[in-house]
């Protein structure tokens, strides 16, 4: 799986305001609903929050990968967000989060969901990848850092 298959420049938020986990997920859900045809902000938000109730998707080192399967989602969709201020995400290492990759997967795509999560976790476990994202100061730079790293 390649990031450019699920991420496009319109699904990037760079230096987005970080307030709280709930407000950030709500804001990202609205952003996704505006930019991806057929998706509903309230449904996205509700499903992401339900997933968080099972256990935080904060994987450590300032990274969170909130994810859910969702009806009316025609393909795997990713949104990459860097925050202007790290927020508490109840991550496994108790460190605040400043990089978020939201993953939405069609409801019936169980295997694709797991495969994509594994790929993302592998990428975000690479310090050079995360540093490239953290140094980006614009939407275009953030997208370029994500895509070019995977190409190297």
3-state secondary structure the chain: CCHHHCCCHHHEEEEECCCCHHHHHHHHHHHHHHHCCCCCHHHHHHHHHHHHHHCCCEEECCEECCEEEECCCCCCEEEEEEEEEEECCCCCCCCCEEEEEEEEEECCCHHHHHHHHHHHHHHHCCHHHHHHHHCCCCHHHHHHHHHHHHHC
In sequence order, what are the beta bridge partners of 106? 70
CA angle 148, 151, 152 (to 5 degrees): 95
113 noted as active-site residue: no
Catalytic residue among 21, 47, 67, 113: 67
- The catalytic residue positions are 67
């Amino acid at each position: 799986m390649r990031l450019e298959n699920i991420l496009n420049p319109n699904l990037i938020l760079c230096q987005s305001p970080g307030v709280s986990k709930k407000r950030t997920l709500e804001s990202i859900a609205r952003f996704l609903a505006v930019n991806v045809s057929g998706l509903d902000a309230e449904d996205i938000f509700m499903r992401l929050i339900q997933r968080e109730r099972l256990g935080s998707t904060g994987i450590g080192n300032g990274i969170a990968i909130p994810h859910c399967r969702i009806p009316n989602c025609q393909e795997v969709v990713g949104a990459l967000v860097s925050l202007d201020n790290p927020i508490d995400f109840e991550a496994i290492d108790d460190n605040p989060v400043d990089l978020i990759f939201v993953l939405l997967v069609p409801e019936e795509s169980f295997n694709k969901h797991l495969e994509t999560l594994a790929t993302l976790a592998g990428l975000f476990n690479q310090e050079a990848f995360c540093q490239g994202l953290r140094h980006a100061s614009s939407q275009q730079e953030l997208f370029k850092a994500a895509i070019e790293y995977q190409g190297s």
